[in-house]
Every structure is written in structure tokens, then in C-alpha cells.
Amino acid sequence: MLMAFTFPSNAADLNETNPLIHYVGFNLGTTTIFEHYTSLHAGLNYELKKFKGRNGIGFDFEYMMGPGTEIFISFPISFHNAFKVRNLVISAAPGLGINSSLNYLKKEIEDIPEEDKFLSDQTRQNLLLRGIVSYKFPIKNEQGNEFMAVVPYMNVTFIADYNTYFSFGTKVHFYIYK
């Protein structure tokens, strides 16, 4: 199946047609697991919203490089221009966290409590809930249309039965109008 994406010739066309906007991008930043460690993360993200709309839905994939491999897959529901502040975006994202070794920090301890030993060197999946606050700095082309944005963000991720993660970084979004 072939999909054709068009880019409006000027900003007035966007207001008349109210097209769908696909935000496709990548992010890079750092994550802290309180009282444990800090590591680098990288990811891909996608969001779909109407040009004049305030709400969007999307998909995020994030890989965290640290003592253990961690992957987060989430589905953000975004509210653009939150609190009537232009370009402020607040999102809530349920998802799944995959950890290659939930007990990797305790492996360094000689006397591991018996109830924790079964968790060593296993892969575990946990439900997660992520709250995200970001601010878009749009970049326009010669016709006055936004074609990309630099988006600094902060998020807090709550993992079921595990830890709280705090992340910050920068996303780069490219816009595709349909």
C-alpha cells in the first residue's frame, strides 16, 4: 500500500484544510533511577494529531543503556497547548517496561536475601505509567510552515513493583502533513 503525503504550499492552506500531522522523531537524554544509577537513553517516537486539534496519540520506543538493558514501549496521549500555554505539551503514557536483569544491583552484594535470589539474571516485563512535560520550539520553512521542532522534555516513569525513573532530554520531530 502506498501513501502519499503532501506538504501545504502556505500556512493559509493549513488553516483551511485542518490536515492530520504525523510527528516522527527521535530522542536522546539521560535517565536516573533514584538511589541506584544514571544512564543514557535513546528512542524513537511518533504522534498523530489534527493541525487545529489539541489532542494527539502516539507510540514511543526507548532503549536505556546502563548496568542492565531496559526497553520502554509506551502509548502517549498528548494534550498540546496545555494550560493555554502555546507549545506546552503534557502527556500521559501507559506502557510496558522490559528489564534484562531486574536484580542486577543486588548481584554485587554477597548476602542476598533468599526471597530476592530468584530474580537474578532474568528478563521481566512490568507495566508502566509515564508522565511527560515538553515544550516545542518549531522551525519554519520559507513558506511559513512548521516542518520540524526541537522539543526538550522531562518525564517521570512509574514501574509496577519496581522503581521511579526521572528522565530529561531532547526530541527532534519532523512533521508530515496528510
pLDDT on residue 15:
56
Is the Cα torsion angle 160, 24, 178, 16 positive or negative in sign?
positive
pLDDT exceeds cutoff 70 at 13: no
Segment 166-176 shows an average pLDDT of 94
In order of their start, the domains of the chain are 11-177 (2.40.160.20)
Q: Could you give the C-alpha distances from 65 to 5, 40, 44, 122, 123, in angstroms and in order? A: 35, 6, 15, 17, 15
SS3 2: coil
Tens-digit pLDDT profile for residues 92-136: 999 999 887 544 444 445 565 655 544 555 677 889 999 999 999
pLDDT exceeds cutoff 60 at 2: no
CB of 160 within 8 A of CB of 127?
yes
pTM of the model: 0.78
